Amino acid sequence: MAAGPLLEIDSLTFRYRRATEPAIRDLSLTMERGEVLLVAGPSGCGKSTLIRAINGLIPHAYPGEMAGVVRLAGRPTTELRLREISLTVGTLLQDPAKQIVGSTVESELAFGPENLGWDAAAMRARIAEVSDEAGIGGLAGRETYALSGGERQLLAMAGALMLQPSLYVVDEPLANLDPLTADHLLDVLRQLADAGHAVVIVEHRVEEALQLRPDRVLYLEESRVQYLGPVDGFLRVADPESVKLPFEVTLERERARDQGAVKQVVPRREHTELDVPARLAFRNVHVSLGDREVLRGLDASLAPRGVVAVLGPNGSGKTTMFRAGMGLIRPTSGAVEVDGNPAQGRSVAELARVFGYVFQSPSQMLFSRTVRDELLFGPRNLGHRVDDADGFAMATLRRTSLDGLEGILTRPPMTLSFGQQKRLALAIALALEPPTLILDEPSAGQDHRTANRFMDEVRGISGLESTYLITHDVDLALTRADRILVIRDGRVVGDGTPAEVIRDEEEWRACNLHQTSLMRANMAWRPAGHAFLDAASLARAILAQERAATREMEGGSTIDRA
């Protein structure tokens, strides 16, 4: 073993070849074996760049200007080949669908060892070990395209385990996973750390990542280190608006900030449904895709007003349900109704005037050379007359706060950032003035602040009667929705207000959902009869209650808390 710490970064600065500003400035960091480091920060702050600097892609695969040095077990990465680095550093990227290169589970696991020239017997032995470690023994022999998102991410993790590296770098591994699958992945990482490996994990979902019991947190902002140190220190300084923190922390922070004169929160009342036909109703709907029955007798009706959230495990049929609702796939049996009329016989384009559908990955529909053309594509296809193209485009962009970007109308849509593309997709859906929006995973792949702002904007859209959202984010569903549908194996297994659906704890867990700190706090503290509150509002409500209680006890005098 070479001398020195496992990883040593010494005033690293890196600028990508075509960028004008460095993506990382003057970063220094040392890591020992057995240590876990959590890296957080808003989108574009340089987290992935740091990961690439550690695993050697910078400078070996990404050209640019690099200053400072990254050492692995004492040797600078510039002097090592990627082949050698791969023996020390194992990497897991965000999108499992893209990092899997094998057609079958075995060929994926064998990929690294094959490249390094292992013999087949050694590979087979190692595959057996790793399948155990990662808990994917059940996947043996499967084809990778038929795996669910969660299974794929675990397989990718197992692929990284194969070469027994001593340092694991993991870039937002939880983004598209349901909560229980996410927990399982975190368990695997924790075991690695306990066995003496080091782990660097980038994650927006700080609350969940804390389960990993990181030793230190690195907080980046605008490519600079804002904080590097133990977790409790981080929780004291982190901004609850930019990263998602456990509720207790938010409460403490509110308390510290509380000057006794916070404006009173007006909690939403839980929504009661009116007696009108459902906007979208499923009656015993069955849908088969390939040779698999994905929806198996789905019964649900979604009201014309309010917010409905759909939760459920990876692969349970959430996306399929709305594709059937939009007429994009035909049910094998059962009926879909829109506003009380059968949807069959109505074209997709007609239904698009009722439902604005925002896909999970916005870039899959962007093709025009400019944002303006992209916005006009739908209305023109549907025969709307648009006289003032620029005016129309700008007005639509204004609804999703994209109008402020310099030269936005003539930008190629695909060069926008992910968050901006998501807003553009929303604008495109809104261009047809639908009364109802369907959002598939609105928060995935965005940082906490951006995702929240996006949801706030959706709520503020005028003329919108209802929003249906598909999500894995339990807190998002509980705090934003009037009603929650829980789907498992193509059927509705839970349907009601947030308070109602979480009552059956067993069912909740069976759907790969878990209890969050905000959920527990809401159950304990939420004013009776009120909807679930977001962290900040709940904290304020609790503080107000506390104050009222103390005031009563102290006979109305205002007190300062120690």
Partner 1 sequence: MWDVSSRTIVYAAIGAALYGVTAQFQIALPGTANVSLRPSFALVTFFGVAFGPIVGLFVGLVGNAIADQISGWGLLTSWNWSLANGLAGFIAGWWAMSMMQGQNKLVNAAVASAIGVVIGFLFVFTDIWLGTAENFGVAMSDNYIPVVVGDLIVAVILTPILVAAWEPIRESMGR
Partner 2 sequence: MNVAPRYLGRGSWLARRDPRVLILALAAYVLAAVQVWDLRLLTPMAVAALLYYRSAQIPWRAVRANWAYIAFFIGFIILVNTVLTGGELRGFKEADLHIYFRLPLLSTPISAEMVTYATVQLLRFGSMAAMGFPIAFAMAPGDIGPTFARLRVPYKFAYAIDLTFRFLPSLATDMQTTMDAQRIRGYEWDRVKGGPVGRLRKLGPLLVPVTINAIVGAEDTIDAMDLRGFGTGRRTWLRQLAYGRVDLLLLGAYVLLLLVITALSLTGHTRLWVPDVLIPRPG
Ligand X SMILES: Nc1ncnc2c1ncn2[C@@H]1O[C@H](COP(=O)(O)OP(=O)(O)OP(=O)(O)O)[C@@H](O)[C@H]1O
Residues that bind partner 1 (CB under 8 A): 16-19, 61-63, 367, 369, 412, 414-415
Residue (147 or 189) nearer to partner 2, CB: 147
How far apart, in whole angstroms, are the C-alpha atoms of residue 107 and residue 494? Answer: 39
* Residues in CB range of 165: below 8 A, 6 or more apart: 86, 87, 88, 89, 90, 197
Residue 561, number of CB atoms within 10 A of its CB: 11
Residue (319 or 368) nearer to Mg ion, CB: 319
Are 43 and 450 spatial neighbours (Cβ–Cβ below 8 Å)? yes
The interface region with ligand X, picked from 45-53, 101-109, 298-306, 547-555 by CB under 6 A, is 45-53
| Residue 450 in the binding site for ligand X (CB under 6 A) | no
Please, what is the minimum distance in Å from the beta carbon of residue 412 to partner 1?
Answer: 4
The interface region with partner 2, picked from 97-105, 201-209, 275-283, 532-540 by CB under 8 A, is 97-105
Pick one of partner 2, partner 1, ligand X, none as the site partner of residue 63 (Cβ within 5 to 8 A by kind): partner 1
Out of 289, 414, 549, 559, name the contact with ligand X by CB under 6 A.
289
Out of 43, 301, 361, 401, name the contact with ligand X by CB under 6 A.
43
Out of 13, 48, 361, 401, name the contact with Mg ion by CB under 5 A.
48
Please, what is the minimum distance in Å from the beta carbon of residue 42 to ligand X?
Answer: 7
Residue (95 or 254) nearer to ligand X, CB: 95
C-alpha dihedral sign at 424, 429, 435, 439 = negative
Out of 13, 104, 107, 148, name the contact with ligand X by CB under 6 A.
148
| Residue 60 in the binding site for partner 2 (CB under 8 A) | yes
Strands 306-311, 24-31: pairing kind = unpaired
Q: What is the 3-state secondary structure (H, E, C) of 100-119?
A: CCCCEHHHHHHHHHHHCCCC
Pick one of ligand X, partner 1, Mg ion, none as the site partner of residue 23 (Cβ within 5 to 8 A by kind): ligand X
Residue (179 or 379) nearer to ligand X, CB: 179
How far apart, in whole angstroms, are the C-alpha atoms of residue 488 and residue 507? Answer: 10
How far apart, in whole angstroms, are the C-alpha atoms of residue 225 and residue 366? Answer: 35
Residue (119 or 291) nearer to ligand X, CB: 291
| Residue 359 in the binding site for ligand X (CB under 6 A) | no
Please, what is the minimum distance in Å from the beta carbon of residue 306 to partner 2?
Answer: 23
| Residue 47 in the binding site for ligand X (CB under 6 A) | yes
Out of 147, 185, 198, 352, name the contact with partner 2 by CB under 8 A.
352
How far apart, in whole angstroms, are the C-alpha atoms of residue 182 and residue 92? Answer: 14
Angle at 327 between CA 323 and CA 328, to 5 degrees: 55
Are 473 and 309 spatial neighbours (Cβ–Cβ below 8 Å)? no
Are 112 and 159 spatial neighbours (Cβ–Cβ below 8 Å)? yes
Residues that bind ligand X (rule: CB under 6 A) add up to a total of: 28
Please, what is the minimum distance in Å from the beta carbon of residue 64 to partner 1?
Answer: 9
How far apart, in whole angstroms, are the C-alpha atoms of residue 285 and residue 191? Answer: 43
Q: Residue 175 is which amino acid? A: A
How far apart, in whole angstroms, are the C-alpha atoms of residue 103 and residue 126? Answer: 19
Residue (369 or 503) nearer to partner 1, CB: 369
How far apart, in whole angstroms, are the C-alpha atoms of residue 150 and residue 139? Answer: 12
Residue (106 or 482) nearer to partner 2, CB: 106
User: x/- string (CB under 5 A) for Mg ion, residues 310-339?
Assistant: ---------x--------------------
- Please write down the long-range contacts of 458-465, taking CB distance under 8 Å and 24 or more positions apart: 458/426, 461/399, 461/430, 461/437, 463/433, 463/435, 464/435, 464/436, 464/437, 465/279, 465/304, 465/305, 465/435, 465/436
Pick one of partner 1, partner 2, ligand X, none as the site partner of residue 57 (Cβ within 5 to 8 A by kind): partner 2
Please, what is the minimum distance in Å from the beta carbon of residue 414 to partner 1?
Answer: 5
Residue 304 φ/ψ, nearest 5 degrees: -75, -15
Q: What is the 3-state secondary structure (H, E, C) of 247-298?
A: HHHHHHHHHHHCCCCCCCCCCCECCCCCCCCCCEEEEEEEEEECCEEEEEEE
Could you give the C-alpha distances from 479 to 38, 417, 454, 470, 490, in angstroms and in order?
Answer: 27, 27, 14, 14, 25
* Subset of residues 150 to 169 that bind partner 2, contact rule: CB under 8 A: 156, 159, 163
Residue (63 or 342) nearer to partner 1, CB: 63
| Residue 226 in the binding site for ligand X (CB under 6 A) | no
How far apart, in whole angstroms, are the C-alpha atoms of residue 96 and residue 25? Answer: 29
| Residue 140 in the binding site for partner 2 (CB under 8 A) | no
Please, what is the minimum distance in Å from the beta carbon of residue 63 to partner 1?
Answer: 7
Residue 457 φ/ψ, nearest 5 degrees: -65, -40
Please, what is the minimum distance in Å from the beta carbon of residue 133 to partner 2?
Answer: 17
The distance between the two most distant Cα atoms of the chain, rounded to a whole number of Å, is 80
How far apart, in whole angstroms, are the C-alpha atoms of residue 356 and residue 371? Answer: 18
Residue (310 or 458) nearer to ligand X, CB: 310
Please, what is the minimum distance in Å from the beta carbon of residue 139 to partner 2?
Answer: 13
| Residue 378 in the binding site for partner 2 (CB under 8 A) | yes
Angle at 400 between CA 396 and CA 403, to 5 degrees: 70
Residue (116 or 276) nearer to partner 1, CB: 116
* Residues in CB range of 255: below 8 A, 6 or more apart: 539, 543, 561
Residue (91 or 166) nearer to partner 1, CB: 91
| Chain residues in the site for partner 2 (CB under 8 A) | 52, 55-57, 60-61, 81-83, 86, 89, 91, 93-95, 97-104, 106-107, 110-120, 123-124, 127, 143-145, 156, 159, 163, 290, 323, 326, 328, 348-349, 351-352, 357, 359, 361, 363-367, 377-378, 381-382, 414, 428-429
| Chain residues in the site for ligand X (CB under 6 A) | 16, 18-19, 23, 41, 43-49, 62, 148-149, 289-290, 292, 294, 312, 314-320, 447
| Chain residues in the site for Mg ion (CB under 5 A) | 48, 319
